[in-house]
Amino acid sequence: MKIDFTLNGQARSLNVDPLQPLLTTLRDVIGLKATKEGCGEGECGACSAIVNGKLVNTCLFPIAQVDGAQVLTLEGLRETPRGRCLIDALLTAKGVQCGFCTPGMVLALYQVLVNSPDVTQITEHEIRVGISGNLCRCTGYGMIVDAVNIAIEQGEGLW
């Protein structure tokens, strides 16, 4: 099946099995390896990407559903000022240890920030809910939560 979509701002056209997961397409067909496979069952969030403004688990997301959509992965986000701000904040907060959860976590945190009507009012609870689908086995989450506050502080005007 022919699938046309926009990936990190660039038009893509692929002939693939419509049931192939977006994760497989990103990693094995296109060669973008930031998106990780953890559980492969929709439980860990390591495979997160943003499709039409929503965080999805790409391991369970058939490529057919991407037809006509806008897809954002860490490779695209890190080229933007917001993405760089958030990654720098995560590093400053020491919210990256083994790094396996990090690509998905950055996208989940980005969603928390861009969906907030006023980032100065974001609560810890809202951040924790926003990353509740993204498991991290290393950090205990506290430093990841801190990163959002650092990003808001350092990225004044960006959010």
Give the residue among 47, 107, 112 at the shortest CA–CA distance from 76: 107
The secondary structure of residue 28, as a DSSP letter, is I
Residue closer to ligand FES (CB basis): 11 or 19: 19
CB count, 10 Å around CB of 150?
19
Query: From start to end of the chain, where are the E strands?
Result: 2-7, 10-15, 48-51, 54-57, 70-72
Binding mask 116-155 for ligand FES (x = CB under 6 A): --------------------xxxx----------------
Cβ-contact 149, 143 below 8 angstroms: no
Contact flag: residue 91 with ligand FES (CB under 6 A): no
Applying the rule CB under 6 A, the residues between 100 and 119 that interact with ligand FES are 100-101
Instruction: Mark the segment that binds ligand FES (CB under 6 A) among 69-77, 80-88, 94-102, 146-154.
Output: 94-102
Cβ-contact 49, 56 below 8 angstroms: yes
Least distance in angstroms from the C-beta of 121 to ligand FES: 27
Applying the rule CB under 6 A, the residues between 22 and 61 that interact with ligand FES are 37-40, 42-47, 57, 59
Rg (CA), the chain: 15
